[in-house]
Structure 1
């Protein structure tokens, strides 16, 4: 291990042999760090925190601190970080609470820019990009391939579906369906993330199908239940790209942006 002599590693921490830890970083007793991970200087990793392989964690991050929740009473909740993530300067990720699943999770291959906050019990998928100062309240769920613009704020308990995207300074107070772009305070729909879908290999037919689903939700003047039924019928006919809508509708908790 390449551990700077000024770093403080508590007894009990489980650190792979090739982990690098920079000057003045502090690693708690209930922390595990996987192979290939680099931890910069002045990082604090505490609590029951597990970090996977090949992550890069930049200076002044605080990972695994107790939740900013007055109900928290010292329960042994967790923070779990997967593999291949980049976590830039001054990010703050809190452990979960007993009132939810008790775990805050960040998946794999996420690009997390400076000053991002993940509140307690957030569940983040894979291959996301969170631009500077994106802030997530507690219990927020974010799917795969989501992009959050800088200074995006997400209200607690909101869900953001796969491949969705927010503009900078968006204030998300309700659920954002998959593939949808959102902007504004409060955030409203602004079309689908067509360019992102092209880059990820979606066919023109699949993108057309997603556009039609968007029209059902936002352009036809349908009540939500009718739009949902139309999309679920299309998904059942074999349009796999619409399965993300079906999963999203089943899990959504705050009502979708309209």
Structure 2
């Protein structure tokens, strides 16, 4: 392939597949089942192993460990996979594990993600597009992270947790319940602290849509009736509001974990 640059100290297995313009820096190791698409760059001291595919234009920084076997005692060497999307930035000492037989055999990271230094994505987790994991964020097995989610530093995400698109997770939060799309969660254990209004505005959502979502939020998380009754009412009352329907669908599809709720007596800012 044209334009491939492999440093003399790097070790690239004969079965590895490297696209055009790939750069493999000093002391990197690339395993025999690895696929590096066009213009992937491994800066130095990077290890990519297992049945791992790295999308075009992704850059991986020193001492990242990508594709080594999961930290799961139920893993028995099955040929599970790891897929990393295009144009991602994976910083120093990040660890990402492939899937397991008990979780669908696949860990997946979308396009245009930033994984800051020392963050971790465990087996069978699915991370959407344009997600930012700040330093020392840990995403446990089977978690599902929607598009455009932002994490502050040193957060932990419990296994099987879902975090909806455009949510914001404050620094040092422990997330052990599902966080609604467009929500903001803070604390240990985290509670819902309103909507991610700053993120919604930055993402270009219309003012009217945001006001409608705020009204639905107050209704869904009020104290009258049960959560399911309030969600059903919101589904009818805001049937033409796409952001509200995203939240309704997310809550009604809850399966493995409870929904992250506001603290008793708290109000959205």
TM-score (norm 1): 0.96
**C-alpha distance 78-251 of structure 1, shift in aligned 2 (>3 A):** farther
Match of 1:187 among 187, 190, 193: 190
1:1-258 to 2 correspondence within 5 Å?
A: 1-235=4-238, 237-252=239-254, 253-258=256-261
Between the two proteins, the alignment pairs up a number of residues equal to 257
- 1:62-98 per-residue CA deviation (whole Å, 9 max, x = no partner) reads 0001111111111110000010111111000000000
Tell me by how many angstroms 1:194 deviates.
Answer: 0.7
Q: For the Cα contact (< 8 Å) 1:162–1:244, is it kept in 2?
A: no
Q: Secondary structure of the equivalent of 2:215?
A: helix
- Unpaired segments of 5 or more residues in structure 2? 262-269
Q: For the Cα contact (< 8 Å) 2:166–2:181, is it kept in 1?
A: yes
Aligned partners of 1:115, 1:172: CA distance in 2, in Å?
18
Q: Secondary structure of the equivalent of 2:96?
A: strand
**C-alpha distance 210-35 of structure 1, shift in aligned 2 (>3 A):** same
Tell me by how many angstroms 1:250 deviates.
Answer: 4.3
CA-based RMSD of the aligned residues comes to 1.2
TM-score (norm 2): 0.92
